[in-house]
């Protein structure tokens, strides 16, 4: 995937969740086709931590099942950084266990918030453009 396109209304949902859950990191999954997001899955940060996130296996399995039933693919796993920039931590890299999926970070440190995407292959990290599109899905 060379870019990720997020419709404005889905981006707004991510921001709303990040702001509501701050100072805890918000997290979830983005699904769609061909690099274009069409559905957001809001997840629970089971650790309720301000400096990392952990999704429960039960929620993950339910989301993956719904993604398949909808005929979509998982494009990205997202989480927020309520008090730090949109960059990957060593823990983010270490816990990136889903190959081919982008990792998106929403940083609330600046206004407007900063969103960045990354592909992680073992210890190799590549930043991938994230585009927020105006209009409907």
For residue 23, the domain's CATH number is 3.40.140.10
pTM, two decimals, is: 0.91
By the 8 A CB rule, do 82 and 23 touch?
A: yes
Residues 6 or more apart in contact with residue 95 via CB below 8 angstroms: none
Total of domains in the chain: 1
Quick one: what percent of the chain has pLDDT higher than 90?
74
**Tokens 């005929």 — which residue?**
71
Domain of residue 93: give its range: 4-133
| 115 bridge partner residues | 106
* Intervals of the chain under pLDDT 70: 1, 135-137
By the 8 A CB rule, do 13 and 39 touch?
A: no
């Amino acid at each position: 995937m060379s870019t990720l396109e997020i419709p404005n209304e889905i981006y707004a949902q991510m921001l709303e969740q990040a702001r509501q859950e701050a100072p805890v990191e918000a997290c979830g999954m983005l699904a769609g086709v061909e690099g274009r997001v069409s559905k957001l899955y809001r997840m629970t940060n089971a650790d309720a931590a301000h400096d990392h996130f952990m999704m429960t296996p039960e929620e993950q399995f339910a989301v993956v099942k719904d993604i398949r039933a909808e005929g979509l693919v998982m494009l990205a796993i997202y989480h927020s950084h309520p008090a730090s920039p949109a960059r990957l931590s060593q823990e983010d890299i270490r816990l990136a266990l889903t190959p081919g999926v982008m990792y998106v970070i929403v940083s609330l440190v600046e206004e407007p918030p900063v969103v960045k995407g990354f592909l992680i292959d073992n210890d190799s990290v590549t930043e991938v453009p994230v585009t927020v599109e105006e209009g409907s899905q």
